[in-house]
Amino acid sequence: MLPYVIDGEGTYARNRAASRGLAGGQGASGRAHHQCGRVGDAARARELGAALADLRLSFPGRREGALDHVQQHLRQLQTQT
């Protein structure tokens, strides 16, 4: 179920941003970020993490360093099989 939540949050973030500007997508990107961290399968987490990194490029988050956190997590996942 988590992949659908993450994909849905990405779509929602982009739609909110289109209607309400950058701030409209920040909450959705934050929720997607939180959900992505809960994915237990490394292969699926890498796939979703790449999509999240793209989303974070558009919606960097309220806290500084969110994109860096995603990229660091992706590097760690690369070492897992």
The pLDDT value given to residue 24: 59
Cα–Cα distance measured from residue 1 to residue 20, given in angstroms and rounded to the nearest whole number:
28
Give the containing element (helix H, strand E) for 27.
helix 22-36
Point out the residues of the chain with pLDDT beneath 70: 1-24, 81
The pLDDT value given to residue 1: 44
The pLDDT value given to residue 72: 94
pTM over 0.85: no
